[in-house]
Amino acid sequence: MAAVIKTVNLTKRYGTLVALSNLNLEINEGDCFGFIGPNGAGKTTTIKVLATLLQPTWGEARICDLVVGYQSRQIRPLIGYVPDYFGAYEDMVVQEYMEFFAAAYNIHGTARTKVVNDVLELTDLAYKRDAAVDGLSRGMKQRLSIARVLVHDPKVLLLDEPAGNLDPRARIEMRELLKELRRMGKTILISSHILPELQDLCNTVGIIERGELIYSGPWTDIVKRAKTGTVLHVAVVHNQELAAAMLSQDPNVVNVTANNGHMEVALKDGVNDYTFIPQRLIQGGFKLTLLKEEEVNLETAFMRLTKGMVQ
């Protein structure tokens, strides 16, 4: 499958500060790519380069095989860029705001009316068409920002923290909207700090730290890579310290630590059968109330990789 977004040794420097260092990235058509990293890692810089707003210091970025910087005029109709902030339009209502951007893409007459109505329906903002833009809630402004970039039906969406600072309901609505856009065949690059939602939304992810790409690929692979061994959450009714001391003596156990009312039992690499844990506890006279294998998800994988725990 051909890459819709591709960077080759993409580097951006600000004097002595290296914001991006030799970034090599490929995102295929129809992918929803989650871009993960701490603040200042280079996510926004990457997105701004892809949005043709920044020139790289060296290296290359391509959108649909068009080169950023040399063919930016041809790239812009193919992309929709949503920054991590929303500029105020105090004197516009939602309908006027949408028609203004549709006109910017030379959409006029009945075609403009139709596309504005369709996009407002898609983003669940039709009932707000006469509301002042500046009076919308943050969640509605974020949805309107996405609606704005959909009027010209772009192939690629570049979304920088679209769910940042939203309340839980607004985040859920945003996630469902992005799922619908993916079902429509859009290729999406989205940066976010809300990792469980990225896991639910994206099929591929990239982890960036200090301007360097640590990992890029299916999120299921990164979870497997971060799984360093089996960890069990175990709890008993009484005498947890005694139970921990007993389990720590087992040759299959690496260590046992207390954590918020239960024990975390780390098993040796290669030990996958942990039926001996409840057997030993019951034989020792303990009443078992919890036995659960710790799940390694995108969030725990991110923490382990960015701390250098996985090579």
Query: Would you place residue 299 in the very low, low, confident or very high pLDDT band (cuts 50, 70, 90)?
Result: confident
pLDDT at 237 over 60: yes
Q: Specify the higher pLDDT residue, 288 or 309.
A: 288
Q: Tell me whether domains 3-218 and 228-295 share a fold.
A: no
Mean pLDDT of all residues in 118-130: 95
Q: What is the spatial distance between Cα 190 and Cα 227, in angstroms, rounded to a whole number?
A: 25
What separation in angstroms does the CA of 206 have from each of 6, 179, 213, 220, 305?
A: 13, 19, 7, 12, 12
Contact (Cβ atoms closer than 8 angstroms) between residue 9 and residue 60: yes
What is the tens place of the pLDDT at every residue in 71-92? 999 999 999 999 988 776 778 9
Domain 3-218 classification at class level: alpha beta
Lowest-pLDDT range of 52-66, 140-154, 205-219, 295-309: 295-309
- The pLDDT score that the predictor gives to residue 311 is 35
- The pLDDT score that the predictor gives to residue 86 is 76
What is the tens place of the pLDDT at every residue in 135-148? 898 889 989 999 99
**Which amino acid, residue 287?**
K
Contact (Cβ atoms closer than 8 angstroms) between residue 265 and residue 215: no
What separation in angstroms does the CA of 246 have from each of 93, 208, 231, 237, 241?
A: 68, 42, 17, 15, 9
Average confidence score pLDDT of the chain = 89
What separation in angstroms does the CA of 99 have from each of 25, 93, 105, 107, 111?
A: 35, 10, 10, 9, 11
Domain range summary for the chain, segments of one domain joined by +: 3-218, 228-295
**For 228-295, CATH number?**
3.30.70.100
Q: What is the spatial distance between Cα 270 and Cα 263, in angstroms, rounded to a whole number?
A: 20
pLDDT at 59 over 80: yes
pLDDT at 310 over 50: no
- How many other C-beta atoms can be found within 10 angstroms of the C-beta atom of residue 109? 7
